[in-house]
Amino acid sequence: MKEKSKEIIYQRPESLRDVTTHYCPGCGHGTVHRLIAEVIDELGIRERTVGVAPVGCAVLAYDYFNFDVTEAAHGRPPAVATGMKRVRPELIIFTYQGDGDLAAIGIAETIHAANRGENITVIFVNNGIYGMTGGQMAPTTLIGQKTATSPQGRQFQNEGPPLKVGEMLAPLDGTAYIARGALDKPANIIKVRQYIKQAFQNQIEERRFSLVEILSPCPTYWHLSPADSMKKITDEVILNFPIGVIKDER
């Protein structure tokens, strides 16, 4: 009998270590990690990539990626990445940040790295909450959303509206590429993958600052099931944070 030929069509990317992550069931970080790892493999840049991990739920990202990664203080990854990219421009430097890290405590570093047009890639995971510290309000928390520090729900008059980082950075001349995607359904995940790939491609081609914002679920602190969390992204989060390419100056 003739043996059927077998072809591997799906496997763990080389850029992702074969370990179990600490992320909660239904969390989006694992998906984003995988997308980044796939893209880095595809572009053949694993051996010249250095990641900058945040403080927040993804603080242990260096245990999951299979390339060089450094820690950075809360909010400071864009400054750390700036120091790296300026001294070794041939390396591929990316930051991986949550909404507290990037949009609250590190907003100054974010804006100025963007405005200087640093040739780095920023992966911004927006789940509208501080997960690591126990579900506090983030700059991107939706109006009315209840959190540990907005128990009555976020109010426009008190906390202001959710911060739209992508739209805020897009007018800066230093930015080359700003896109926002969502993890709520496979079609959108495929788009996120394309955005991430473009953001790394831009760095290879020295097109300056690229940022991909990813709307991601936090079932634990949204107090929803993983499936309902995805539905919330589709029904509510995307209405507040429209998805698509916000700026592309290729």
Partner 1 sequence: MKTEKPTKPILICGNEAIGEAAIQAGCLAYFGYPITPQNELTAYMASRMPEEGRVFIQSESELAAINMVFGASALGVRAMTSSSSPGISLKQEGISYLAGCELPAVIVNMSRGGPGLGNIGPAQSDYFQSTRGGGHGDYRTPVLAGASVQELADVTFLAFDLADRYRTPVLILGDGILGQMMGPVLIKHPEPTRIPPKDWILGGAAGRPPRVIKSLFLGSGELDAHNRKLQERYRIIQDTEVRHEEFKTDDAELIMVAYGITARLCREVVRNIRREGHKVGLLRPITLWPFPSGRIAELCSTAKKFLSVEMSYGQMVDDVRLAVNGRRPVDFFGNGGGEILTVEEIEGYTVKLSLDLS
Give 106 or 128: the residue with its C-beta nearer to partner 1. 106
Shortest separation between residue 169's beta carbon and partner 1, angstroms: 14
The answer to whether 86 and 72 are in contact (CB under 8 A) is no
Shortest separation between residue 173's beta carbon and partner 1, angstroms: 16
**How distant, in Å, are the alpha carbons of 28, 31, 182, 231, 242 from that of 235?**
17, 20, 12, 6, 12
Shortest separation between residue 62's beta carbon and partner 1, angstroms: 4
Site string for partner 1, 23-62 (x = CB under 8 A): -----------------------xxxxx-x------xx-x
Question: Is residue 179 near partner 1 by the rule CB under 8 A?
Answer: no
Question: Is residue 19 near partner 1 by the rule CB under 8 A?
Answer: no
Give 43 or 60: the residue with its C-beta nearer to partner 1. 60
Give 26 or 51: the residue with its C-beta nearer to partner 1. 51
Give 79 or 102: the residue with its C-beta nearer to partner 1. 79
Question: Is residue 108 near partner 1 by the rule CB under 8 A?
Answer: yes
Site residues for partner 1 per CB under 8 A: 46-50, 52, 59-60, 62-63, 65-73, 76, 79-88, 91, 108-109, 111-112, 116
